[in-house]
Amino acid sequence: MARPPPPPPGTVWDEPIASCPLVFVDLEMTGLDVERDRVIEVCVERVVGTEVTAKFVSLVNPEIAYSNSDIHGIVPAMTDVAPTFANISQNVLQILDGAVFVAHGAQFDVAFLRAECARIGITFERTHYIDTLVLSRRSFALQGHSLDELCKHFGIVRPAAHRAEHDVWAMRKVWDLAIAELKPESTRELWEVRIGERVARSHLIRICELSLKGNKPITVTYRPRRKPAEHFDFVVTSIISELDPPRVLGYQLPGRGRRELRADRVLSVEPAKAGTP
């Protein structure tokens, strides 16, 4: 399968993480079939840095009968008096405009928003977005990466699980934990975290190239397959860019043990502290 093209240059994707507008999105639905089921709750929260700059939360009248309320607890009596998606669509789209879309299992949320918009004659598409499920799978060696499992593992207590506003709150906690591991400079780097596609983050490759050129040690955070992340000082001796994914070769300090790192499994790279041999 061909890899998707990256986000266009010179957009919000190249802004520093601290100033990039992000919109965290969570939807609750009547079921899992995009063609048949409907959105019954939405939360979109626009964040810049640590500040929430806009937020919209609402139950949604799906305009169809449904009975599957076991997971989220949203029963028809609650949504019968709620606005339809047509009534709230502009609130949602206005907050999404010009921001990076972030969701847990994001492809699912994009598909449902696309379908809801199409039903009211609006074209909605997000070809580029960030999935906190993918970030979690790269960052943490866990058995499962559902939001429920992540909340349990990290002690994130939601007032109500599977309600849109509380899931967005939990997702932002997961985001912060993943960012602490991945240390990206821009959201483009996070888009390049693509589990199963063997993609190496271009910014990290550039740092490794500079380290090789200057013969300067670096501090690497690396997570081998199914193992927790390792942190070590490393001297790059060569980069094999023609392999897929590229390999970074060198030796680990202080013991000078030889290592071959798969570039897509490198979580972060920083200059080694002064005094590192």
pLDDT tens-digit readout, 1-13: 567 899 999 999 9
Domain count, the chain: 2
Give the amino acid at 253: L
Residue 158 pLDDT greater than 60, yes or no: yes
Q: 273 vs 98, 203, 204, 261, CA distance in Å? A: 38, 20, 18, 21
2, part of any domain: no
Integer-rounded Cα Rg, in Å, for the chain is 21
Range(s) of the domain holding residue 180 = 12-190
pLDDT tens-digit readout, 87-101: 999 999 999 999 999
**Is 20 found in the same domain as 150?**
yes
Mean per-residue pLDDT of the chain: 95
Where does residue 183 fall: left (phi above 0), alpha (psi -120 to 50 degrees), or beta otherwise? left
Domain edge (last residue) among 164, 190, 216: 190
**Is 211 found in the same domain as 180?**
no
**Is 222 found in the same domain as 181?**
no
With b for 16 or more beta-carbon neighbours within 10 A and e for fewer, the 157-168 pattern comes to ebeeebbbbbbb
**Is 123 found in the same domain as 26?**
yes
Res. 277 pLDDT band, cuts 50 70 90: low
pLDDT value, residue 275: 62
**Is 207 found in the same domain as 178?**
no
Domain edge (last residue) among 190, 225, 253: 190
1, part of any domain: no
Tell me the pTM: 0.94
**Is 144 found in the same domain as 46?**
yes
Looking at residue 266, which CATH number applies to its domain? 2.30.30
Domain edge (last residue) among 190, 223, 243: 190
